Amino acid sequence: GLKQELFHRHKEAQQCCRPHNLPLLRAAQQREMEAVEQRIREEQRMMDEKIVLELDQKVIDQQSTLEKAGVSGFYITTNPQELTLQMNLLELIRKLQQKECESERAFS
């Protein structure tokens, strides 16, 4: 939205500009557009970092909950290999639960 608004402002300014000032105006507008794009990239990077931190916290919360529940193999860790093992354990638990639900339906 910010880029669209800037584009429209630039277009209006170019229409009102005298021909001999047009190259200067375009150069200034180009710098302004680059600054806006840099700001957008920076805001996007900050948002991405915030999301990653929130996801990391969710993983820690999940590990803590499962550890407190006494589920084997779960404890707070950031080791990628251990995280992969925990993800695989969760997937196994999910599949076992799914099979259990299917067999209960079959016998109902």
Sign of CA dihedral 60, 66, 70, 74: negative
Ordered by start, the domain boundaries in the chain are 2-70, 77-107
Question: How far apart, in whole angstroms, are the C-alpha atoms of residue 33 and residue 28?
Answer: 9
Cβ(59)–Cβ(83) below 8 Å = yes
Instruction: Identify which of 86, 87, 89 has the alpha carbon closest to the alpha carbon of residue 75.
Output: 86
The pLDDT assigned to 11 comes to 82
Instruction: Identify which of 80, 76, 21 has the alpha carbon closest to the alpha carbon of residue 88.
Output: 80
User: Which whole number is the average pLDDT over 76-100?
Assistant: 95
Instruction: Identify which of 42, 47, 87 has the alpha carbon closest to the alpha carbon of residue 63.
Output: 87
The pLDDT assigned to 2 comes to 78
Query: For 12-53, what is each residue's pLDDT tens digit?
Result: 887 877 788 778 888 988 999 999 999 999 999 999 999 999
* Res. 54 pLDDT band, cuts 50 70 90: very high
Cβ(76)–Cβ(60) below 8 Å = yes
The pLDDT assigned to 83 comes to 96
